[in-house]
Chain A
């Protein structure tokens, strides 16, 4: 057992050395490309599993401009799904590339190889046009334009939805949805949500761990299910977007109404069915951390749910994050410190948050121990601070988007 592990380690080391050499060679070619107007990617935060796409297997406290020729040659990135320690990139041409931690098979390359430093295409999905992707703690989900959904990675809680508890290292079509039209998949820590468009409207399904009510498939706490089951509590509600992270779930309706369920946010108890959070605002986007949620309203305002300890995790005086108060609903609070600036994009890691203002400025706050705030230190921040991507970017036009993995962050600037 020890010898086999050593051999695997040796192979991984050799593979990493080869990857580093390739990366250095690519760096030399990169200088010419900088003149051309291509998408630019930066990453920062926890990096010891290769999730940052840099050559170095270490945390980065400041945004690192990335050189990823295998990604840029595949096309422009339309979605970057960031998981526990891996990244799933979707191009505008429907192609998928993955990198980072892969020891549960979440990268979908047909092996359990670890620490993939550079993006590699998921060959098993080559014949499909993928339209949406999601990255959970240790599993990944992919949706095709024909409405199929595929999953791979850890399956020990049934979160892959194939009817067993096996893990898969290559994307497998979820047969339950073969005759339905899937629009989205959202992958949390140990559960998955799927939004499917059917003749009766959109329907929501859940599978994986349900101990905290995150599946909303029953009035009881369900330990786990390994095949999709219908979410209850959305009769007459048209859900258009879903989110999953940690042990909770969220959704937005076509009317801009917010629903959350699963593990309680802030001081609230767990909810086994979707809770509507009343608000005078209409919401267009919701993202989840492990103890907080962010919602973006139609008029560019950002609200936070839970997250009382946001920016206090490294504080030694802070004791247990106890949630002894039960039955109290979490309250939507406007995020302070944005100075009336309108927000265009929001993203949430496990314990940090990121937004992009309408002027293209990235602001982060929350837990900062691994540099995931990109501010050059490991300090926590309790309110938004501006991240600098570098002087030359400030003067350029184009769109900036931000994405958060559990302990890391990515930014993409697309030329106008």
Chain B
């Protein structure tokens, strides 16, 4: 059962674990990876116990970057003019 609802901005990015983390009442950390978030996953689990939290975030913030790259002028293909 979801122990708590936590906003993504309240989670801490852990470089070593390569995951967003939040304290678990057992002393370990609830964890969720960027890949999980990209897939729309919203459960961050604790590796040490049965508890998990629901992560609140805007799925657009973690969606695939392809759509954003279109705005990058360097990546735009020049139009060939015959």
Binding site for B on A (CB under 8 A): 5, 46, 48-49, 51, 84-85, 101, 137, 156, 189, 211, 290, 313-321, 349-351, 367, 369-370, 405-408
Q: Do residues A370 and B49 form an inter-chain contact, with CB atoms below 8 A? A: yes
Apart from A320-B5, A351-B25, A369-B50, 5 more pairs, CB < 8 Å? A313-B1, A319-B1, A369-B49, A407-B24, A407-B27
**19 A–B pairs (Cβ distance < 8 Å), ordered by A:** A5-B16, A46-B26, A46-B28, A49-B27, A84-B23, A84-B27, A85-B27, A313-B3, A313-B51, A315-B1, A319-B1, A320-B1, A320-B2, A321-B1, A369-B50, A370-B49, A405-B27, A406-B27, A407-B27
Nearest chain-B residue to A156 (Cβ)?
B12
Q: Do A290 and B25 form a contact, CB below 8 Å, given A320-B1, A321-B4?
A: yes
Residues of A with C-beta under 8 A to B27: 46, 48-49, 51, 84-85, 101, 370, 405-408
How would residues 40 to 82 of chain B score, 1 for a CB under 8 Å from any chain A CB and 0 otherwise? 0000000011110010000000000000000000000000000
Separation of A46 and B51 alpha carbons in the complex (Å):
14
Separation of A313 and B26 alpha carbons in the complex (Å):
12
Q: Do residues B25 and A319 form an inter-chain contact, with CB atoms below 8 A? A: no
Majority-rule SS of A interface residues: loop
Residues of A with C-beta under 8 A to B16: 5
Residues of A with C-beta under 8 A to B1: 313, 315-321
Name B48's contact: one of A5, A46, A315, A316 (CB within 8 Å).
A46
Residues of B with C-beta under 8 A to A189: 23
How would residues 1 to 26 of chain B score, 1 for a CB under 8 Å from any chain A CB and 0 otherwise? 11111000010100010000001111
Tell me the minimal C-beta distance from B36 to chain A in angstroms: 19
Separation of A156 and B28 alpha carbons in the complex (Å):
18
Residues of A with C-beta under 8 A to B24: 407
Nearest chain-B residue to A408 (Cβ)?
B27
Q: Do residues B23 and A137 form an inter-chain contact, with CB atoms below 8 A? A: yes
Residues of A with C-beta under 8 A to B10: 211
Q: Do residues A319 and B49 form an inter-chain contact, with CB atoms below 8 A? A: no
Q: Do residues A350 and B50 form an inter-chain contact, with CB atoms below 8 A? A: no
Q: 4 tightest CB-CB pairs across the interface, nearest first?
A: A350-B25, A407-B26, A85-B27, A407-B27
Residues of B with C-beta under 8 A to A49: 27
Separation of A316 and B1 alpha carbons in the complex (Å):
6
Q: Do residues B48 and A370 form an inter-chain contact, with CB atoms below 8 A? A: yes
Q: Do residues B48 and A48 form an inter-chain contact, with CB atoms below 8 A? A: yes
Nearest chain-A residue to B10 (Cβ)?
A211
Q: Do residues B50 and A314 form an inter-chain contact, with CB atoms below 8 A? A: yes
Residues of B with C-beta under 8 A to A314: 50
Q: Do residues B4 and A370 form an inter-chain contact, with CB atoms below 8 A? A: no
Residues of B with C-beta under 8 A to A319: 1-2
Q: Do residues B26 and A321 form an inter-chain contact, with CB atoms below 8 A? A: no
Tell me the minimal C-beta distance from B28 to chain A in angstroms: 7
Residues of A with C-beta under 8 A to B23: 84, 137, 189, 406
Nearest chain-A residue to B23 (Cβ)?
A137
Separation of A351 and B3 alpha carbons in the complex (Å):
11
Tell me the minimal C-beta distance from A51 to chain B in angstroms: 7
Q: Do residues B5 and A407 form an inter-chain contact, with CB atoms below 8 A? A: no
Name B25's contact: one of A211, A316, A317, A349 (CB within 8 Å).
A349
Separation of A35 and B28 alpha carbons in the complex (Å):
38
Separation of A314 and B25 alpha carbons in the complex (Å):
13
Separation of A105 and B17 alpha carbons in the complex (Å):
18
Q: Do residues B25 and A406 form an inter-chain contact, with CB atoms below 8 A? A: yes
Residues of B with C-beta under 8 A to A407: 24-27
Q: Do residues A369 and B4 form an inter-chain contact, with CB atoms below 8 A? A: no
Separation of A51 and B1 alpha carbons in the complex (Å):
27
Nearest chain-A residue to B7 (Cβ)?
A211
Tell me the minimal C-beta distance from A43 to chain B in angstroms: 13
Nearest chain-A residue to B5 (Cβ)?
A320
